[in-house]
Amino acid sequence: MKWRRVLWWVLVVFAVYAIYRAPDQAADFVRTVGESLGRVVASIANFFDGLLR
């Protein structure tokens, strides 16, 4: 269980470092992930909407 906590903190520190060193690229990454998740949710909603019609 301790290794998970260490891994979690390593990921958090890396994320903070990446945001500090390249904020524009970090913002682009978050924007891209958000748009992708939005498309996935819209596709799932369209699928279930099609099932109900």
Residue range 3-49, pLDDT digits in tens? 899 999 999 999 999 999 999 999 999 999 999 999 999 999 999 99
Cα separations in angstroms, 31 against 4, 6, 15, 48: 28, 28, 15, 26
CA distance 39 to 28: 16
Cα-Cα end-to-end distance for the chain: 48
Count of other CB atoms within 10 angstroms of residue 19: 14
Q: Report if pTM > 0.85.
A: no
